[in-house]
Amino acid sequence: MKFQFENSFEVKEKILEKLVAILPIGAVEAHGPHLPLGTDNLLAERLSEKLAERVNAFVLPTLPYGQVWSLKDFPGSINVSNQSLIRFIVDIGKSLYHQGFKVFVMVNGHLGNSVAMKEAARELYEWNPELKVMYLFYPGTDQVVSEIRETPPSHRSYFHACEIETSYMLYLAPEFVNMKKAISDLPKIPFRADFTPTPWREFTQSAVLGDATLASAEKGEKVIRVALDHMVKLIEQAKEGN
Amino acid sequence: MKFQFENSFEVKEKILEKLVAILPIGAVEAHGPHLPLGTDNLLAERLSEKLAERVNAFVLPTLPYGQVWSLKDFPGSINVSNQSLIRFIVDIGKSLYHQGFKVFVMVNGHLGNSVAMKEAARELYEWNPELKVMYLFYPGTDQVVSEIRETPPSHRSYFHACEIETSYMLYLAPEFVNMKKAISDLPKIPFRADFTPTPWREFTQSAVLGDATLASAEKGEKVIRVALDHMVKLIEQAKEGN
Amino acid sequence: MKFQFENSFEVKEKILEKLVAILPIGAVEAHGPHLPLGTDNLLAERLSEKLAERVNAFVLPTLPYGQVWSLKDFPGSINVSNQSLIRFIVDIGKSLYHQGFKVFVMVNGHLGNSVAMKEAARELYEWNPELKVMYLFYPGTDQVVSEIRETPPSHRSYFHACEIETSYMLYLAPEFVNMKKAISDLPKIPFRADFTPTPWREFTQSAVLGDATLASAEKGEKVIRVALDHMVKLIEQAKEGN
Amino acid sequence: MKFQFENSFEVKEKILEKLVAILPIGAVEAHGPHLPLGTDNLLAERLSEKLAERVNAFVLPTLPYGQVWSLKDFPGSINVSNQSLIRFIVDIGKSLYHQGFKVFVMVNGHLGNSVAMKEAARELYEWNPELKVMYLFYPGTDQVVSEIRETPPSHRSYFHACEIETSYMLYLAPEFVNMKKAISDLPKIPFRADFTPTPWREFTQSAVLGDATLASAEKGEKVIRVALDHMVKLIEQAKEGN
Amino acid sequence: MKFQFENSFEVKEKILEKLVAILPIGAVEAHGPHLPLGTDNLLAERLSEKLAERVNAFVLPTLPYGQVWSLKDFPGSINVSNQSLIRFIVDIGKSLYHQGFKVFVMVNGHLGNSVAMKEAARELYEWNPELKVMYLFYPGTDQVVSEIRETPPSHRSYFHACEIETSYMLYLAPEFVNMKKAISDLPKIPFRADFTPTPWREFTQSAVLGDATLASAEKGEKVIRVALDHMVKLIEQAKEGN
Amino acid sequence: MKFQFENSFEVKEKILEKLVAILPIGAVEAHGPHLPLGTDNLLAERLSEKLAERVNAFVLPTLPYGQVWSLKDFPGSINVSNQSLIRFIVDIGKSLYHQGFKVFVMVNGHLGNSVAMKEAARELYEWNPELKVMYLFYPGTDQVVSEIRETPPSHRSYFHACEIETSYMLYLAPEFVNMKKAISDLPKIPFRADFTPTPWREFTQSAVLGDATLASAEKGEKVIRVALDHMVKLIEQAKEGN
């Protein structure tokens, strides 16, 4: 249920019944020729809706700007610093606690947000450990991803506008995918990229890290189901105070 | 046109043609029994879309959290501090300039954001005056508002969930208004409220500042048209470098 | 009574009797050919003294630097950022509370300080709502000003070195006014000035926003009396804990 | 000449002729039974006036709040943190440079401000070394002080409301001294006070560090003359670019 | 070569010849019964020395405090926040560039420092991309680690005071290891630990994540050699400007 | 005893027995041709070890970077800002308190760190006055220094790489002194250096402020003994809660 469509007179009771608020966080960032700039927003939002149904939670409005340092020179990317993101999330978290929520779940659509989300979660924990704060980026999907993928990953942790992410979109937001424009681009990410600041323009012109033409809704569904199952379990534990 | 639905391969050219980016900024805040918590987001977003059509601009994804200090104790309100908001907006503004935009228009749906928006605009001006930054909250509508309203305002500058704002919603986002629940509540705002920190709980329980039952789409349309005309003019001047 | 001329051995008792501290805040800023750079300091200080007599309060030393962004390019202006001003005021407020004051009244002589003063007041409120903090800029004078003025205002909220402000000076600090140099300058403030950062050099060379030659001590006295009456009432309410 | 009594139309030329701005910085702080809370403000201000005459400089309005950590628990003290003070001074310094000043002289009336003043001066130096920034606290007076004093100092660097400081007041601001109330109080400052945070309440109840009854205008004059001579020399060198 | 044992008269020439500065960064943190609190400092330092020999670089003094949030409640841990660490590293980096270094290599002995190091590296990159900044935590050793380990890892990315880290110590700093006290402790790290703030006290009492009794200098040497080879290659590329 | 060589299983008991943690803080800074860049680190560290033996305290790992603004342009100097240093020290202090320490002693090897250390100590005092924080830079040695020195000091408070500091090194770390390269350089420090930002390059090329050839281990020992005696006394008082 969308939190922002509730009204103030009735929402208190529902908060105390649901206890869980889900904040989708995405980004505006280059995603190749076949995916929109807002891909990470769409993924975070749609995934949050599915999750909310399963755990009877509220979905907050999507925070649609994230930390996109690596791709900030690409057309269309809008970058917000880790510090700005942390401050924003911490403010939201404190308000949620004051409103009566006990579990604050961030559903992340963009890997680059992970550092800010974890840091904000720790700051909130220091502020008040009673508020359970979670940062979720397709949890528990390493294995299923390695099973479904037909091409090797470009990088241990990055996936971007590729077979995998495009599959998520085909499952969650197919109306925004233009498979006719999908390309295969397997950049050679230099070893140093994990050890020194390396804007992605140094190794790709498309921002596609793999073979997007192999994407399918079926692949996307398989991974998302696993992710959702893990998310549900994590939230249920958190509601029980673990 | 929604910026986040563009793709990276085609967006550069369009940016250089349009030059104007519109950022709707709203809030999640109590708005009485008949309007949703996200009223200010809906208003900012819908108004931005109308404006974008008129000036051939891009609409960025809505920033859906704002500074709601006065109502932060009300059920459903989520508050972000002025400082957090300023940092976030400044980051976005710098990215927009790097992307090639020349005019950054913030369409504000919530009075409480005004201070942060103006401060961020000045900070961006100091950083680079070539980027024109605008902060617009129904500009130039004082007269038309005083003409259409059937009840006196509760306050010189505040209007909230009342005849006026409800009319905006009936015109711009009627599917989210429940007029059956609309009430008339004319709080006596104490004189001191302009001179000392005064949470609104001190003078209202409904967060409605007026008679919402008198709202109509016609009234809303009259004001919004005037606002839009002024916005269009301001943006056109800015594009010409004034 | 001037706080800084008290001595440490006797002041505690007086603080606990008076309970109210008044901080005049002004600015160093261009005020045309007939008024000194320190106009806002003189106004804030003299007004504070009159107020202190009425409410039996202490007057603190004037904070003589303010936020003068709009006029900072004019000869003689000295600008302090909102952030610096907020931090300074918050520190002072906390000390006042530790000293035993219950009401901290800022008497503002310069519109540009309003944002920082309100923000500082809210921060102090969050810190400890027992300290009542007030920010006063000629409160409750809209009507009397519109009655006494012979020329229309240049702007809805700005008045500067004009018929009005010069009248205040002629009443409160006449020895610093040189009426022989008073001029009439009615700039056309562009509509955009309320919506985009607009240094005043874009529309005035004199920094006079009106007809200063029409100023008189009588006009000044009329407005100041109304302002003082409102200030007295506000402070008395605050002392009673409202 | 007092800068704030100049007007904007004539001040530019004078700035470019004088080149030197003097900012008195004091404090509101307990100074025993015979001296007012604003002693450091009075000293900084009167000394600045004498200095301005000698070097043909402008005197800015006194910044009347300082860092009084050690005495902040004493009746009447108002404490501002080093950080707040630094930010405030840096802002003023930048404005002075933009206005055309080449030498920014801080005349300090309160030892506790020294750290913030030096830090601010270094920050301004990093920003633009063309602006010469000076922080002056009775420079070059060690010898003359040791000659005139009849009682040994309580501490190597502190002097407070004692024979010395009271003498300064008797010379510079005698109308604010009540010698009938002057006392002799020679606290034993513990050795640890230089090595661990030690509020002065741990070793004095009067805040007088010496024998104030031995103060005289003559003693004050002797020291102030030496201080002034050194200040004049320093400023003249700075004007010549050294 | 240890930078701090050089003298100022001869060091400039050597800097311009070597071009590379290595900063070991460790932590003071609980490491079980058999390893000292300073394990990460010893590892970072010894590894840096070996590296410096290979690439003809200077070794800077070890920064011996790091971010140890997860274990900060354990006896002996000293925690420094990410923000403090970032500021410190950025200052050092800027000085190194001013001194003539072209490559700034951080050799990390503690996983918890990774976020701060990467963030500082990016901040330095934005400041001046000419300075190459590297953050190295046993680079390129995933495979060799999986080959040598006899027990499965407790976690995908954490290793701590276990077979692996103890082996590093036995190779690099054996005099600080007490194998008689080595224990095997295989905690079940809950799935949630990657998704919500989880102090390690929730799943371990020893802070040992594995079987330390299986450690050997041979195992340590195998991994360290691979790490060193990768580090050498990365630095040589950086020196050539890649 | 070196804290970082303890292990987590045994350290808690020792902390509660010793109660005192000593943090050596030095710098990397030009020290003439005969002393290494790390002179201040060596002095702080060796002195801390001697002190720890006397008061049964733990010695923490040396913080080897300090504020070296005055000499930052000299070859080999690495500068850290006061703000960065303050944040780092405050974090360490809070951790020490959480670990059970009651006295946190900073042994300083570099005058330039004094401001940051005192400010950090005050911040910790405001946080929790139960933790006694000390900042020690050769306390109580003014008289003995003036007795042993054969040449007059260059400056009232600075001594650097001269007869005095070289003597400390000859006593505490002789293996790092190369007396063959020792020089005598008596710069004329301009009077203004105490009153305006003055990089030392303006008055010295060697960074030696005196006659290093007159240094001897005996002189060093005499001063260090006095310093140690004072330090011991201060710490014993602090342990007793004074």
Averages of pLDDT over each 10 residues, chain A, 242 residues = 96 97 98 98 98 98 98 98 98 98 98 98 98 98 96 87 97 98 95 97 96 98 98 96 70
Query: What would the pLDDT profile of F123-152 be if each residue is shown by its tens digit?
Result: 999 999 999 999 999 999 999 999 999 998
State whether A78 and B63 contact (CB < 8 Å): no
Give the E:F interface size as CB pairs under 8 Å: 183
Contact residues, A window 2-61, toward E, CB-based 8 Å cutoff: none
Cβ–Cβ below 8 Å for A87 and B87: yes
pLDDT at residue B157, as a whole number? 83
**Mutating which of F138, F196, F229, F233 best tests the D interface, going by the most D Cβ atoms within 10 A?**
F196
Find chain E residues with C-beta within 8 A of A146's C-beta: none
D145 touching chain F per CB within 8 A: no
Q: Do D135 and F196 touch (CB under 8 A)?
A: yes
CB contact under 8 A, F32 and E9: yes
User: What pairing do the DSSP bridges indicate for beta strands F132-136 and F103-108?
Assistant: parallel
pLDDT score for A232:
98
**Cβ–Cβ of F64/E4 closer than 8 Å?**
yes
CA distances from B22 to B239, C197, C212, E78 (A): 13, 17, 41, 47
Q: How far off is chain A from E122, nearest CA to CA, in Å?
A: 6
Give chain B's residues under pLDDT 70. 242
Token pair recorded at residue D125: 């130096």
The two tokens of residue A15 are 């908060």
Which residues in chain A are closer than 8 Å to B175, comparing Cβ atoms?
none
Condensed to tens digits (0 to 9), the pLDDT of residues B121-137 reads 999 999 999 999 999 99
Query: Could you tell me which residues are beta bridge partners of residue C2?
Result: C59
Measured CA distances, A29 to A39, A194, B7, D59, F164 (Å): 8, 20, 9, 54, 61
Judged by CB atoms closer than 8 Å, whether chains meet at C76 and D3 is answered as yes
Residues C57-68 have pLDDT tens digits of 999 999 999 999
| C-alpha separations of B64 from A8, B80, D129 in Å | 17, 10, 44
Shortest CB distance from C132 goes to which of B135, B194, B196? B196
Structure-token pair, residue A14: 């529902």
Instruction: For residue C3, give Cα distances in angstroms to C56, C96, D153.
Output: 12, 12, 29
Question: What is the domain-level CATH number for residue A122?
Answer: 3.40.50.10310
pLDDT for position C242: 62
Instruction: Check F91 against E81: CB less than 8 A apart.
Output: yes
- β-strand partners of A2: A59
**Could you tell me if D107 and D58 are in contact, meaning their C-beta atoms sit under 8 angstroms apart?**
no
- List subunits contacting chain D, requiring 3 or more Cβ pairs under 8 Å: C, F
Residue numbers of chain D with a pLDDT score lower than 50: none
> At residue E2, does pLDDT exceed 90?
yes
Radius of gyration over alpha carbons of chain A, in Å? 18
ipTM above 0.95, yes or no: yes
* Distance separating alpha carbons of residues D88 and D85, to the nearest angstrom: 5
- Between strands F210-211 and F184-185, the pairing is antiparallel
Domains held by chain D: number: 1
Nearest to D97 by CA among D9, D213, D15, D4: D15
- Which of D106, D191, D192, D195 would you mutate first to test chain F, the one with the most F CBs within 10 A? D195
Q: List chain D residues with CB under 8 Å of F119.
A: 82, 115
Shortest CB distance from B192 goes to which of C119, C125, C234? C234
What is the rounded distance in angstroms from the CA atom of residue B96 to the CA atom of residue C161? 38
E32 neighbors E210 (Cβ within 8 angstroms): no
Which one-letter amino acid corresponds to residue B132?
Answer: K
CB-CB neighbors (< 8 A) of B37 in chain A = 3-8, 11
The chains in contact with chain E, meaning 3 or more Cβ pairs closer than 8 Å, are A, F
- CB contacts of C192 in chain B (<8 Å) are 134, 234, 237-238, 242
What is the Cβ-side half-sphere exposure of residue B84, based on CA atoms within 13 angstroms? 19
Calculate helix-pair angle for A39-55, A217-239, nearest 10 degrees.
Answer: 50
Q: Is A203 on the interface with E (CB under 8 A)?
A: no
- Structure-block tokens of residue B58: 């891009």
Q: Which residue has the tokens 């009248």?
A: C167
- Picking from E10, E80, E43, E21, the residue whose alpha carbon sits closest to that of residue E159 is E43
* Residue B122 to residue C197, Cβ atoms within 8 A: yes
Chains B and C touch (3+ CB pairs under 8 A): yes
Mean pLDDT value of segment C131-150: 97
Asked whether the beta carbons of F237 and D192 are under 8 A apart, the reply is yes
Whether A240 and chain E come into contact, CB under 8 Å, resolves to no
Touch test D–C: 3 Cβ pairs or more under 8 Å? yes
E140 contacts A234? CB cut-off 8 A: no
Edge-first strand listing for the sheet containing A20-25: A58-59, A20-25, A103-108, A132-136
- The answer to whether the CB atoms of C135 and B195 lie below 8 A apart is yes
| Rounded distance between C-alpha atoms, residue F214 and residue F164, angstroms | 9
- Paired strand residues for D184: D211
How distant is the alpha carbon of residue E232 from its chain centre? 15
Contact (CB, 8 A) for E148 and E223: yes
- Residue among C115, C122, C195 whose CB faces B197 most closely: C122
Q: Mind telling me how many Å the CA of A207 is from chain B's nearest CA?
A: 9
Task: Enter the tokens of residue A41.
Answer: 């927003």
With an 8 Å Cβ cutoff, are F4 and E33 in contact?
Answer: no
CB pair distance less than 8 Å for E234 and A195 = yes
Encoded tokens for B108 = 């504000």
Say what the pLDDT of residue B242 is: 62
Structure tokens at A126: 């220091």
Please list every residue in chain D whose beta carbon sits closer than 8 Å to the beta carbon of residue F125.
Answer: 197
Could you give phi then psi for residue D135, rounded to 5 degrees? -125, 115
Chain F: give the shortest CA distance to residue D229, in Å.
Answer: 13
pLDDT score at D40 = 98
What phi, psi does B238 have (nearest 5°)? -65, -40
Q: Which residues of chain F have pLDDT under 50?
A: none
Name the residue range of residue B60's domain: 3-239
Give the mutation candidate from E4, E41, E62, E82 for the F interface (greatest F CB count, under 10 A). E4
CB of C227 less than 8 A from some CB of B = no
